[in-house]
Amino acid sequence: MGEASERETRIMYAESKREINVISRSFEYYPKVRKELIEASERGVEIKILLLGHRFVDERTRKVQSEVMKMVRSDIEAEIRLSKTSLPLRGSIVDPSYDYRTGKAIFVVEDPEMPLYLRDAAVTENPSLVAGMKKYFDLIWEYETITDNTQKT
């Protein structure tokens, strides 16, 4: 994650009121947004984290996932699941509404051929697009994930 997208993500988390949905490979940037997520959790914001399933990542990424999830579990209340399928998007969806009135999102399209530092992130406050991304998140969360029981502390 680049500097600009980290800054946008921190702002989104700091301004969240109801929910934060994270879609990430390993959530390796958690230490950079940790303060904002702790504060959001303390405000009662619901936090869900969707990580790329173990069959889609290498051993190094699994170790990063494990370490990050230990930190997350010691810091905040969050639901964590692993995907059963590959994920075409990564990012965060904050305070979406299905009536298309609120929300903000930041996302990156998966492109294995391009290094992470060269990928562009898109930020949107378009409530219809945010609601669409939330539907994408909810469908994957409900039907294409497993609960990550392997990393309980």
Residue 133, CA distances (Å) to 9, 67, 97, 143 in order: 16, 27, 11, 16
CB 96 within 8 A of CB 126: no
Looking at residue 117, what is its pLDDT? 62
d(CA 74, CA 84) in angstroms, rounded, equals 25
- Tell me the two tokens of residue 128: 């219809």
Radius of gyration of the chain (CA): 14
- 38-89 pLDDT, tens digit per residue, is 999 999 999 999 999 989 999 999 999 999 999 999 999 999 999 999 988 8
- pLDDT tens for each residue of 142-153: 999 988 654 432
The reported pLDDT for the residue numbered 39 is 98
Task: Collapse the DSSP code of 29 into the 3-class scheme (helix H, G, I; strand E, B; otherwise coil) and give the result.
Answer: coil
Task: Of 14-18, 50-54, 117-121, give the lowest mean pLDDT range.
Answer: 117-121
